[in-house]
Amino acid sequence: MSTRALFREDAYRTQCEASVTAIDEMGMHLDQTVFYPLGGGQAGDAGTLTLADGTKIVIADTRKAKFEGATPDDAVHVPAPGQEEALSLLKVGDRVSAEIDWERRYRHMRLHTASHLMCAVLPYPVDGCSITRDYARLDFATVEPIERERVEARLAELIGGAHDVNTEWITDDEMTARPELVRTMSVKPPMGLGRVRLLRIENVDLQPCGGTHVRNTGEIGGLRIAKLEKKSARTRRLVLELV
Ligand SMILES: [Zn+2]
């Protein structure tokens, strides 16, 4: 009952029709989805599932499925609390219309793409990363001082440079042979499906990533460093916000 991850083919797709393949204590499983499940540091999507009779189920979050044999693409759509009546109408095999909260997702896409730019601006290993609607938080393993003004100026330059953002695929074996591509120590490359997706920002960055991104760095818009602090003796934490 694998989920087809439509967001990986087209991050701008906001809606799809799907069949309910399972319902468990975590939520609903669909045969295909536009909802991104929490992973790789990026928050899960919220949105709605609309039943054939028009009943809407509000989805508060999306998580990776935990069942035996689940692939990294298998997602669970987690309902917001207090919807027992709507949920009681839903059965396995039902057709639903799945639609994400696009305003929230687009912020994830802009902040996520910005975090790739950060990897180009600060050439240190990343040992923690969290991308939400409101901020991107990155922990860099370095003892070097980080200058806020210089980083903001370089980011603005890369955003203004309007670099194209594209995906490429390599096999799991090719990925294993190129460990230098991995920038984020805390996030394993999305392996296990036989192939790994690489995210290329033209002339800026190349690394394995299964998240959702904008098509061009120009879409990120204004950014500021909201926080820059020493997280530990060997780690600097940086929080980016959209302006
Ligand atoms: Zn990414």
- Summarised one tens digit per residue, pLDDT across range 20-63 is 999 999 999 999 999 999 998 999 999 999 999 999 999 999 99
If asked whether residues 54 and 158 sit together in one domain, one would say: no
The domain boundary, picked from 100, 120, 151, lies at: 100
Q: Tally the domains of the chain.
A: 2
If asked whether residues 127 and 229 sit together in one domain, one would say: yes
Distance CA 18, CA 4 (A): 10
The DSSP secondary-structure symbol of 43 reads P
Domain of residue 132, residue span: 104-242
CA 214 to ligand 1 center in whole angstroms:
10
* Mean pLDDT score across all residues of the chain: 93
- Summarised one tens digit per residue, pLDDT across range 9-32 is 899 999 999 999 999 999 999 999
If asked whether residues 68 and 178 sit together in one domain, one would say: no
Averaged pLDDT in 10-residue chunks for the chain of 243 residues: 89 98 95 96 97 97 92 93 95 98 98 96 92 97 94 97 95 88 72 84 93 97 96 95 96
Cβ count within 10 A of residue 230: 12
Distance CA 51, CA 135 (A): 33
If asked whether residues 112 and 159 sit together in one domain, one would say: yes
Q: Residue 134 burial by CB count (10 A; 0-12/13-18/19+): exposed, middle or buried?
A: middle
As beta bridge partners, residue 141 has: 235
**Which phi and psi (to 5°) does residue 34 adopt?**
-100, 0
Q: Which residues surround ligand 1, an ion (CB under 5 A)?
A: 199, 209, 211
Q: Which residue has the tokens 């540091």?
A: 41
CA 147 to ligand 1 center in whole angstroms:
24
CA 72 to ligand 1 center in whole angstroms:
15
CA 52 to ligand 1 center in whole angstroms:
35
The domain boundary, picked from 100, 130, 157, lies at: 100
If asked whether residues 56 and 130 sit together in one domain, one would say: no
CA 167 to ligand 1 center in whole angstroms:
10
If asked whether residues 60 and 108 sit together in one domain, one would say: no
CA 242 to ligand 1 center in whole angstroms:
17
